[in-house]
Amino acid sequence: MSLSTASGSRAANDQAAGLRRLFGSARKRAIALVHNEHVPQTSLVIDRVCDAAAALGLHTLVVDAADSAPAPHEMALLDLPSCVETISDDVSYLAARGLPIRHVDARGRCGAFLQALETAAPQADLLLVHAGTMDLARLFAQQRTRPLLVGADSPRAMTEAYAALKRLSQRPGWLAHDLLIVADPHGPRTERLGESMAECAERFLGAAIHECVVIDPHADAAAAPEARLIHLLRAQMAQDLLQDSGLAPLPHHAPAVH
């Protein structure tokens, strides 16, 4: 290992350790993962994000509130902690289809559900909330949020990803997003998928895609998480915590497809 590589590795480890210390005294970090009905490999996307979180030493609670998610347990409204399933040492899961709207307040917001999740899964450092745009807008209405959009190498999937971006940029006014694309990294169209969407977002909506990461559907499930996905996750988690932490800002990368 070269000196520069070793230094970079130590810096990444120091940053991750700093984030873990922050979670000891701050609220859990919640990330909005936007459901895309035209991406059949969404479970793969969730697995890869959980792998990246585990590489940072974090436990993830996957809150599956999309229309395609399983129905919640009948006890979900009475005893939410009992409905959280342990998947592994690093991942827990909650079937939550329809639960956000059951916590809606008089202003149409569902922030109380996020608070309930924090209490229900004290072992979790990260809440990965997979839901449609309407539920995400209600859940994260009062938070600084950079949604994770999901696309794939198909016109329908990318059209829906752009439509979701448009809806979120208009109602909650979220103009910063990240993009995960399920595709062959060496496919003939892959390089342009994220670039085209970023160009349309900026030109027509005034929105920005900060990071675009390609998830290879044929990669070995046991392989280490892709470095750029780990960077994306660190940036997601750090965006509203670094200001109070004294940690150095994360390096910026252009929204190119990798």
pLDDT per residue as tens digits for the range 129-163: 999 999 999 999 878 899 999 999 999 999 999 99
Amino acid 257: pLDDT: 52
Amino acid 7: pLDDT: 42
Report the pLDDT averaged over residues 164-175. Answer: 94
Domains of the chain: 27-244 (3.40.50.300)
Which residue type occupies 161?
Answer: A
175 has a pLDDT exceeding 60: yes
Closest CA to 57 of 15, 4, 87, 11: 15
Task: Specify the 3-state DSSP secondary structure of 183.
Answer: coil
Which CA distances in Å does 110 have to 59, 116, 147?
23, 10, 17
Least confident of 15-29, 33-47, 86-100, 201-215: 15-29
Q: 247 pLDDT band (50/70/90 cuts)?
A: very low
249 has a pLDDT exceeding 70: no
Amino acid 5: pLDDT: 36
pTM of the model: 0.84
256 has a pLDDT exceeding 50: no
CB 215 within 8 A of CB 229: yes
Amino acid 242: pLDDT: 44
Task: Specify the 3-state DSSP secondary structure of 63.
Answer: strand
Q: 241 pLDDT band (50/70/90 cuts)?
A: low
Amino acid 106: pLDDT: 84
Q: Where do the H-state alpha helices sit in the chain?
A: 3-25, 42-55, 111-120, 133-139, 155-170, 190-200, 227-238
Quickly tell me which residue has 């290992």 as its tokens.
Answer: 1
Longest dimension (CA), the chain: 58
49 has a pLDDT exceeding 80: yes
Instruction: Say how far apart CA 255 and CA 234 lie, in whole Å.
Output: 16
Q: Is 243 exposed, middle or buried (0-12, 13-18, 19+ CB in 10 A)?
A: exposed
Report the pLDDT averaged over residues 3-24. Answer: 48
21 has a pLDDT exceeding 90: no
CB 139 within 8 A of CB 104: no
Q: 15 pLDDT band (50/70/90 cuts)?
A: low
